[in-house]
Amino acid sequence: MITAEIEQQIVAHARACKPQEMCGLLVGAAGTDQALEFHPCRNAAASAIVYTLDPKDYMRVEQSADERGLAVLGVVHSHTHTEAYPSPTDVAQAPDPNWNYAIVSLKYDPPRLRNFRIVAGEISETAVERV
């Protein structure tokens, strides 16, 4: 679940990073799917076709979440010209089966946000619930 404000932050970050893919982290209470925060991160790959979360950004966000009793719930990235669906690279990079893998597609106006779980290479879409 995300708020309209978080979705707006995601879309704004995606637009600001275009033509490169953007990335960021969702933070909320551990064991839930309700994102309370979106943290924009640098795409260390600096690429229009792949993303790599900057390790320093990841550590900063994770430490901050831990200190406040929260957890990283997932990652968000953009597809600048294609559908919001995990690519083979996205699937190969999916580190945590408990994470949400949200993708915003800038192919459309307004951009489309979709959410997925990736477990052992299997993709399943979950609804993006807005609160």
Measured distance CA(18)–CA(22) in Å, rounded: 7
In the chain, beta strands by DSSP E: 23-28, 35-41, 71-79, 100-105, 112-119, 122-126
In angstroms, the CA 129 to CA 126 distance is: 9
User: Which pLDDT score is estimated for 130?
Assistant: 83
Indicate whether 131 belongs to any domain.
Answer: no
Structurally, the chain folds into a number of domains equal to 1
Query: What's the confidence (pLDDT) of residue 28?
Result: 97
Q: Please identify which residue in the block is written with the tokens 């953007």.
A: 22
Alpha-carbon gap, residue 3 to 10, rounded angstroms = 11
Q: What is the pLDDT of residue 61?
A: 98
pLDDT at residue 95 in the model:
80
Low-confidence ranges of the chain (pLDDT < 50): none
pLDDT (tens digit per residue) in 24-52: 999 999 989 899 999 999 999 999 999 99
CATH classification of the domain holding 102: 3.40.140.10
Residue span of the structural domain in which 23 resides: 4-126
Which pLDDT belongs to residue 1? 80
